Amino acid sequence: MEKSIFSRIMDKEIPARFEYEDDRVIVIHDIAPKAKVHLLIIPRKPIPTLMDAKEEDLPLIAHIHKVAQHLAEKLKLDGFRLVNNCGKSAGQEVFHIHYHFMAGFQE
């Protein structure tokens, strides 16, 4: 199976602008932002879609939400949008789960 672009970023094969990382996730800036703040929260574990997540992955999914909370505090945001596209028909382009963290739609 070919590595996803996100796995290649984690392996430092492709450069990216990192905002945060820990032992379970990385957070990078989206290369085609749709909002003033547009980050991608990506788990290090390569799960193709949210439908492929197992019971054992639930702590990781919860951690992603805690990272979103941390990012909002760090960036001094009073709100944000967290989006996961699940499957091709929902607009998922990279089949390695990731969440779009977006903010700054209105000033």
pLDDT of the chain along its 107 residues, tens only? Answer: 688 999 999 999 999 999 999 999 999 999 999 999 999 999 999 999 999 999 999 999 999 999 999 999 999 999 999 999 999 999 999 999 999 999 997 65
Neighbours of 70 (CB within 10 A): 13
| Residue 87 covered by a domain | yes
| Residue 76 covered by a domain | yes
The CATH code of the domain that includes 87 is 3.30.428.10
Write the burial class of residue 25 (CB in 10 Å: 0-12 exposed, 13-18 middle, 19+ buried): buried
Structural domain including 38 reads 5-102
The one catalytic residue among 63, 70, 98, 100: 98
Cβ 99 vs Cβ 53: under 8 Å: no
Distance CA 64, CA 71 (A): 10
Q: Catalytic residue at 38?
A: no
| Residue 107 covered by a domain | no
| Residue 44 covered by a domain | yes
5 phi and psi, to 5 degrees? Answer: -60, -35
| Residue 94 covered by a domain | yes
Provide the whole-model pTM.
0.94
Distance CA 77, CA 16 (A): 23
